[in-house]
Structure 1
Amino acid sequence: MVNEPGAGDDTITVILEEASSAGTARDRLDQWARHEDPEVRRAVAENPSTRTDSLVALSKDDDKRVRAAVAAHTVAPARVLEELAFDEEWSVRAAAAGNTALDEFSLSEAARDDDVRVRRRAASNPGLSLDDLDRVSEDDDVRIRVAAAAHEGASETILSRLSEDSEWQVRAAVGESAAAAMVLLRTLATDEDWRVRMAVATNAATPAEVREALLLDGDEGVRVAAARHGSQA
């Protein structure tokens, strides 16, 4: 491991700042990628200017935080992301699952991961296929269903099913969705839970007549939200 190449009086704070800066010369980043401090290596792994060769090397780092940073990098090589998507550490797999550059097969596998934190990141990835999104929308964990309801690619069928979910958080996510059909928004505007009605009130896609009805809601917060967002429409 390299310690302080060519900069004997550099403090770790200065090194971290340099390793984090997109303006740092790539040769310098290559050097910091071999630094003995994992925080410095992680900073390099997060730097958008880091060379591919350094990212490849850092993807095999002993420190899971460094590998996770590589897994989340926007220009990490496809083969590196594929490997990190099956890393032994959940945090690394989750970082890969949230990367929009992850290939379809690896993302599909991430959506089936045993760890809910990995599945949640996969469920929020805009690259998730409609078939996988349909499957995760029936996940046992409410957090996954919320992510599915909030997904920009959620179909009318998925949103319709989730609008009847037993958990208010899921129904609220549907109520906030720009893709929710008007019939769903009308129905959710009368939901028994005020937080669901609040979500509908704040949705820019909510029909004017529904928002007007929410101005008379029994919950003050819902009425205020409907008035505020109605004035912005």
Structure 2
Amino acid sequence: MGNQPLRLVMVDDHEMVLEGLKALLARFRGRVRIVAQSVTADDAEPLVAALDPDVVVSDVRLRGSASGLDLCRRLVESDPRRRVVLLSAYDDEQYLFQALRAGAAGYLLKSIDREELVRQLERAADGETVVDPSMAGRAVAAAARLQAGEFWPGAHLSLTQRESEVLALVVAGLSNRAIAGKLVVGEETVKSHVRGIFRKLDVNDRAGAVAVALREGIFQ
């Protein structure tokens, strides 16, 4: 990219995350520069079109009708040269695969070291496909299982492994609180997974999710 800093557009539906990323990257002004930020995919698209950044960095999950994956897909469809890196809190291989299918240039975790983040963004801008170092080995193993047809129930419907586990417990009749206790996670985390399940199965409630699970034979 020469001696000019990378020009970034940041997309995350939490203002505090955006401010944190700005502070995190402040010491790397000679290498990266945030030229714009947005909290929704719909607002991000015209910004990207107007500013033509080197890399768009977006969270996977965004408030509103479009996710980070949707944004990535739209941007790459409108310009195949567009470099989009998904920055996520979810270290789930299925999200990684969905990102790559959407045309992403990379999938990184929010826990990544700031020096490593800048390095990976530079690689993505140079045309490489980047994967968070902590996920690389597991992603290769998961890809091998996928190739062999060995994967979790519901993967063919784009459910992540954790969403599949949550759906199984929904089918079993457990409440969000009970699921949180079973999986040793917070209840808000369970609610987030349930919303993701509803969206992917195109249903509005738990009864609908159970009906799809049974109809599709997700759990034998």
TM-score normalised according to structure 2 size: 0.26
Higher relative contact order (CA 8 A, sep 6+): 2
Looking at secondary structure, tell me which structure has more helix per residue. 1
TM-score normalised according to structure 1 size: 0.25
- Which of the pair has more CA radius of gyration? 1
